[in-house]
């Protein structure tokens, strides 16, 4: 008991005032006419604030566990970032600019987004290159021929080669090269 008194006298005034405030807050929660103490949002914010600004806040906490206060803090952090990132994407551009980008890409099919972006900058229109490529007209590529069509078109130029060895009855090795032309098949 004497040791606790000496330690409490040696504490800073700020820390003693914070401990007093924490204990009074807990008493106020316990004095509420309820069978089980319920913490309001203000009580939770109080403990979050106290945990940030006072190193020994765990020592005077008796109603809830310190892990609960840390969980509240993490949950508040999640809520903050969810609120902060609720807006999505870039702001939309005007319809006239979208039409202009599409017309430029139709008129100049060989120009890419970089070149059209440069032309728009020369006109004084501030828009990113990614936005330009988003609204450009996608030119359909001609369909490539099927494998069957390729074989029909190029059968006269195709040859097949095979190289093999054949052992003879006298245990000599014959080297055989087979060349087949596909134009007659």
pLDDT along the chain (185 residues), means of 10: 64 73 74 69 78 75 74 86 78 88 90 91 91 87 83 86 93 92 76
Please give the Cα distance from 26 to 43 (Å, whole number): 9
Q: List the structure tokens of 12.
A: 């800073």
pLDDT value for 117 = 93
Q: For residue range 49-78, list pLDDT tens digits in order.
A: 777 777 777 777 767 777 877 888 888 889
Please tell me what DSSP assigns to residue 163. E
Q: Which of 150, 158, 166 is nearest to 182 (CA)?
A: 158
Please give the Cα distance from 47 to 53 (Å, whole number): 10
HSE-up (13 A, CA, CB side) for residue 20: 8
Domain ranges of the chain: 2-84, 95-135
By the 8 A CB rule, do 93 and 127 touch? yes
Question: Is this model's pTM higher than 0.75 or not?
Answer: no
pLDDT value for 73 = 82
pLDDT value for 146 = 87
């Amino acid at each position: 008991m004497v040791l606790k008194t000496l330690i409490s006298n040696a504490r800073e005034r700020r820390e003693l005032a914070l401990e007093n405030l924490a204990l009074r807050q807990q008493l106020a929660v316990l004095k509420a006419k309820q069978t089980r103490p319920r913490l309001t949002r203000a009580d939770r914010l109080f403990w979050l604030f106290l945990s940030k600004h006072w190193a020994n806040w765990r020592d005077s906490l008796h109603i809830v566990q310190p892990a609960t206060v840390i969980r509240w803090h993490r949950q508040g952090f999640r809520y903050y970032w969810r609120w902060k990132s609720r807006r999505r994407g870039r702001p939309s551009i005007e319809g006239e600019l979208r039409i202009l980008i599409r017309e430029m890409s139709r008129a100049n099919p060989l120009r890419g987004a970089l070149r059209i972006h440069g032309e728009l900058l020369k006109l004084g229109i501030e828009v990113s290159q990614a936005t330009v490529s988003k609204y450009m007209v996608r030119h359909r590529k001609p369909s490539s021929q099927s494998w069957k069509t390729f074989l029909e078109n190029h059968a006269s130029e195709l040859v097949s080669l095979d190289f093999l060895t054949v052992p003879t009855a006298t245990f000599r090795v014959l080297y055989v090269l087979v060349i087949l032309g596909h134009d007659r098949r």
